[in-house]
């Protein structure tokens, strides 16, 4: 149902795109408009999908991760610090860029590890554990540069967002790679089975010998690392790191995409493809409403009701 | 303590009021921390800290969080969550500003009514449609913020276009800076005024929490709320109106957010749709700091008040540190707040896991049946 809806949306979108003049007569224009609309949407949606996949895994264990937006801000803030700082002068730009792409993701994974340890070792409720990082994390990101914007121009770093191999933005490849990897994890590995088992019935999973603590911790680490990747992409798109805005409300977008995609927040199921489609749906609705001149605020309201409808129908199908 | 002695206790209504309404077991710890933090602040900063002016300002500011936290405590006790309160509060502040031309009481009544209806909609989604609370209130969170953002346009452009006969002055909204001004010729802003030197929001908070504590500890509704949170399936089988209780708690939460919105509008003098961002998590963390578990089934209203006061005091002290020459930027403040939340939850976690859990299992059946037996015989 969602797929059909998406296709209709893309179609409407194209008929509303100004560059397209006469549909049907000029097929090249049509194709270009389609490609443009798709590329705009995929570019925008990639970060939501990347974070949403991590969220889906966390939600599948029965947890939730509110910290992703803050972790994005931290990762996004660290990268320019590395390639704008002394490391670039000392060891050259290549090393700096390599570090700028790896260190922030490692730090983000570290925050994920912190979330995971709070949930498993200290037995905080997931929503509280990640709320701690949500509140404190953005502060840490802002403290790193005292809240200032870091503008930069670094084409090789920005390739992760502005590169166009085969005409498709790099982050779309990253997005699909993350989705495929997560699909493989959930469907083909023992780890995926463990995730679903823990979400389904944690006690039973523990009694069956599932290493519950380790699996749960790892799931938060994955979510943190993916948030880190998304944070880097946002920074690369904007050519500036803004700790105040990077990843703002991302946790809500990601959770909405997860829920719309058919992963129940109670855990035990992980619908990775659903999350991809859910994020696309949310993004397409937003984009098409804005492109036909509906004010952003009203698009927010409509978006809310689309989510309501999607979640409602999901629930009906499940019941 | 032996099990029969505990059951004996659970059957004494005064004990129950203490346990659920006034001083839940874990709230004693928060109370001690609260006293400690206050004493520390008073010693370090002197009378500028414990003086009436600072306390009044601090309490009036935190009264908004207190209202939202009170409402969301009821929701959390049923095992749900309400993310929409910040958006509802900001939408209410826009509405209250617009209604301010009718005077304080009509504005208050209309705003809280609309906010309660929004809360009722949340409850309907959760109770009737069976959508998970997090998602249901996330939907309202988005929609209410969108409506708040668009409200100036609605009043300034759409409604005048819809009703061309009404004089344009009636709609009176400023679309240029996205705000709705308050009619200062009316008495609307007297809600943040003072009676006998005590700010009205503080009096409202005391009254609201007293009512909340009595409702949760003594009333049939309060006991039902605790029962639904403790075991929803069992409550349903016992014949409790689970759907109606859920709708009621979300309606309370919405109404309380509406009250917070009225105070927000009155305090700032102009209603802006960009206010109150992130307040829902602040209110929820106040509830958690108070010691109410997000799993539902237990919780205390007064503990929530302690939580609000504690977070408010810490925030206040951070401001004092900043003003005292040691530059602690607003960014460091949020780091410190995160660490503080972590510490308080950490302090409570052995408390709630080791001391509370065994006693909860032996207590709850007794106290729930106590809550129902008088009702069953009465009806």
Domain that holds residue A208: 44-247
B366 domain-assigned = yes
Q: Do A135 and B338 touch (CB under 8 A)?
A: yes
| Greater pLDDT, A282 or B186 | A282
pLDDT at B170: 66
CA B71 – CA B112 distance, rounded (Å): 13
What are B49's two structure tokens?
């800290």
State mean pLDDT over B200-204.
88
A205 domain-assigned = yes
B379 domain-assigned = no
| Greater pLDDT, B21 or A141 | A141
A261 domain-assigned = no
What are A291's two structure tokens?
């492109």
A309 at interface of B, judged by CB pairs closer than 8 A: no
Percent above pLDDT 90 for chain B: 16
State mean pLDDT over B269-282.
80
Q: What is the pLDDT of residues B121-161, one digit of tens each?
A: 999 988 888 888 888 888 888 888 888 888 877 777 777 77
Among the listed residues A153, A150, A156, the one whose alpha carbon sits nearest the alpha carbon of residue A94: A156
CA B288 – CA A135 distance, rounded (Å): 14
> How many angstroms separate the Cα of B166 from the Cα of each of A108, B106, B170?
57, 21, 7
Residue of A nearest to B343 (CA): A132
A74 domain-assigned = yes
Query: In this structure, how many other beta carbons lie within 10 angstroms of the beta carbon of residue A166?
Result: 5
What are A122's two structure tokens?
């200290």
Is residue B284 within 8 A of residue B150, CB to CB? The reply is no
pLDDT at B329: 66
B378 domain-assigned = no
A264 at interface of B, judged by CB pairs closer than 8 A: yes
Q: Is the confidence at residue B108, as pLDDT, over 60?
A: yes
- The model carries a pTM of 0.77
A32 domain-assigned = no
- How many structural domains is chain A composed of? 1
Q: Do B341 and A135 touch (CB under 8 A)?
A: yes
Question: Which of A64, A199, A297, A317 would best serve as a mutation to test chain B binding (most B beta carbons within 10 A)?
Answer: A297
pLDDT at B376: 34
Strand-pairing partners, residue B49, are: none
Residues 6 or more apart whose Cβ sits within 8 Å of residue A219: A57, A58, A60, A61, A63, A116, A195
Strand-pairing partners, residue B183, are: none
Q: What is the least distance, in Å, from the CA of B347 to any CA of chain A?
A: 10
- B146 vs A128, A137, A304: nearest CB: A304
A254 at interface of B, judged by CB pairs closer than 8 A: no
Q: What is the pLDDT of residues B280-335, one digit of tens each?
A: 888 888 888 887 877 777 888 888 898 899 888 888 887 777 665 556 666 777 78
pLDDT at A283: 83
| Greater pLDDT, A113 or B172 | A113
pLDDT at B60: 87
pLDDT at B189: 73
pLDDT at B353: 47
B318 domain-assigned = yes
What are A74's two structure tokens?
């931290």
CATH of the domain at B293: 1.10.3470
Percent above pLDDT 70 for chain B: 78
pLDDT at B208: 92
pLDDT band at B249 (very low <50, low <70, confident <90, very high): very high
Among the listed residues A104, A105, A82, A106, the one whose alpha carbon sits nearest the alpha carbon of residue A94: A82
B377 domain-assigned = no
Question: Which of A56, A128, A286 would best serve as a mutation to test chain B binding (most B beta carbons within 10 A)?
Answer: A128
| Per-residue pLDDT tens listing for chain A (319 residues) | 444 445 555 555 544 444 444 444 455 666 666 666 666 777 778 889 999 999 999 999 988 898 999 999 999 999 888 888 777 777 777 788 888 889 999 999 999 999 999 888 888 888 888 888 888 888 888 888 877 888 888 888 888 887 778 877 888 889 999 999 999 998 889 898 899 889 888 888 888 888 888 999 999 999 999 999 999 999 988 888 888 888 887 888 888 888 888 888 787 888 898 899 888 888 888 777 777 777 777 777 877 887 787 777 776 555 4
Q: Do B132 and A123 touch (CB under 8 A)?
A: no
- B335 vs A136, A255, A297: nearest CB: A136
ipTM score above 0.90: no
Q: What is the pLDDT of residues B50-64, one digit of tens each?
A: 777 888 888 888 899
Q: Do A128 and B142 touch (CB under 8 A)?
A: no
Instruction: Compute chain B's Rg from CA coordinates.
Output: 22
B335 at interface of A, judged by CB pairs closer than 8 A: yes
> Where do the H-state alpha helices sit in chain B?
3-10, 13-16, 27-45, 47-50, 52-77, 85-99, 104-123, 133-153, 159-162, 200-218, 220-230, 232-237, 242-268, 279-290, 301-323, 330-350, 357-378
pLDDT at A33: 66
Q: What is the least distance, in Å, from the CA of B336 to any CA of chain A?
A: 7
A237 domain-assigned = yes
Domain that holds residue B47: 3-372
- How many structural domains is chain B composed of? 1
As a whole number, the mean pLDDT across chain B is 77
């Amino acid at each position: 149902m969602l797929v059909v809806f998406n296709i209709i949306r893309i179609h409407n979108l194209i008929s509303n795109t100004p560059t397209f003049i006469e549909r049907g007569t000029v097929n090249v224009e049509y194709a270009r408009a389609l490609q443009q609309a798709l590329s705009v949407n995929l570019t925008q949606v990639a970060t939501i999908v990347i974070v949403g996949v991590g969220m889906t895994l966390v939600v599948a264990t029965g947890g939730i991760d509110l910290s992703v937006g803050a972790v994005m801000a931290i990762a996004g803030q660290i990268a320019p610090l590395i390639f704008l700082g002394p490391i670039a002068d000392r060891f050259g730009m290549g090393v700096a860029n390599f570090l700028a792409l790896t260190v922030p993701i490692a730090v983000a994974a570290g925050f994920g590890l912190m979330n995971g340890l709070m949930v498993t070792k200290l037995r905080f409720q997931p929503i509280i554990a990640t709320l701690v990082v949500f509140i404190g994390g953005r502060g840490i990101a802002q403290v790193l540069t005292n809240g200032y914007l870091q503008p930069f121009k670094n084409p090789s770093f920005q390739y992760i967002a502005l590169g166009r191999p085969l005409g498709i933005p790099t982050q779309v490849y990253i997005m699909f790679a993350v989705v495929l990897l997560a699909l493989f994890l959930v469907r083909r590995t023992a780890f995926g089975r463990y995730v679903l088992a823990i979400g389904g019935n944690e006690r039973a999973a523990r009694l069956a010998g599932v290493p519950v603590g380790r699996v749960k911790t790892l799931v938060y680490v994955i979510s943190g690392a993916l948030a880190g990747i998304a944070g880097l992409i946002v920074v690369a798109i904007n050519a500036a790191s803004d700790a105040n805005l990077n990843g703002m409300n991302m946790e809500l977008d990601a959770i909405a995409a997860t829920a719309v995609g058919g992963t129940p927040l109670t855990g035990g199921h992980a619908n990775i493809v659903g999350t991809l489609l859910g994020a696309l749906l949310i993004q397409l609705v937003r984009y098409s409403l804005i492109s036909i001149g509906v004010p952003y605020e009203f698009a927010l309201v409509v978006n809310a009701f689309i989510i309501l409808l999607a979640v409602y129908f999901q629930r009906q199908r499940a019941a | 303590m032996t099990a029969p002695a505990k059951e004996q206790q659970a059957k004494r209504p005064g004990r129950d009021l203490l346990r659920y309404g006034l001083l839940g077991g874990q709230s004693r710890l928060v109370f001690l921390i609260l006293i400690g933090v206050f004493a520390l602040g008073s010693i370090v900063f002197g009378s500028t800290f414990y003086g009436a002016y600072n306390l009044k300002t601090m309490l009036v500011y935190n009264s908004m969080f207190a209202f939202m936290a009170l409402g969301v405590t009821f929701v959390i006790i049923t095992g749900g969550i309400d993310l929409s309160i910040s958006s509802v509060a900001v939408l209410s502040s826009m509405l209250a500003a617009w209604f301010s031309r009718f005077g304080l009481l009509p504005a208050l009544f209309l705003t809280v009514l609309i906010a309660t209806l929004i809360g009722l909609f949340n409850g309907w989604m959760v109770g009737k449609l069976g959508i998970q609370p997090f998602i249901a209130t996330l939907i309202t969170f988005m929609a209410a913020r969108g409506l708040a953002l668009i409200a100036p346009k609605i009043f300034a452009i759409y409604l005048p276009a819809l009703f061309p006969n009404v004089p344009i002055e009636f709609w009176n909204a400023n679309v240029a800076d996205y705000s709705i001004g308050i009619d200062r010729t009316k008495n609307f802003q007297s809600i943040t005024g003072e009676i006998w030197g005590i700010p009205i929001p503080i009096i409202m908070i005391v009254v609201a929490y007293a009512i909340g504590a009595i409702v949760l500890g003594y009333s049939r509704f309060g006991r039902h709320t605790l029962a639904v949170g403790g075991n929803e399936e069992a409550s349903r089988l016992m014949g409790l109106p689970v759907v109606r209780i859920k709708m009621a708690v979300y309606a309370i939460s919405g109404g309380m957010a509406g009250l917070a919105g009225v105070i927000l509008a009155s305090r700032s003098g102009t209603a802006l749709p960009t206010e109150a961002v992130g307040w829902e998590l602040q209110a929820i963390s106040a509830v958690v700091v108070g010691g109410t578990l997000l799993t539902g089934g237990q919780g205390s209203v007064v503990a929530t008040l302690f939580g609000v006061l504690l977070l408010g005091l810490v925030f206040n002290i951070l401001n004092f540190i900043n003003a005292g020459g040691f530059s602690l930027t607003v960014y460091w403040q949020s780091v410190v707040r995160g660490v503080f939340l972590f510490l308080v939850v950490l302090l409570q976690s052995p408390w709630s896991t080791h001391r509370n859990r065994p006693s909860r299992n032996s207590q709850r059946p007794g106290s729930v049946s106590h809550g129902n037996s008088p009702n069953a015989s009465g009806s």
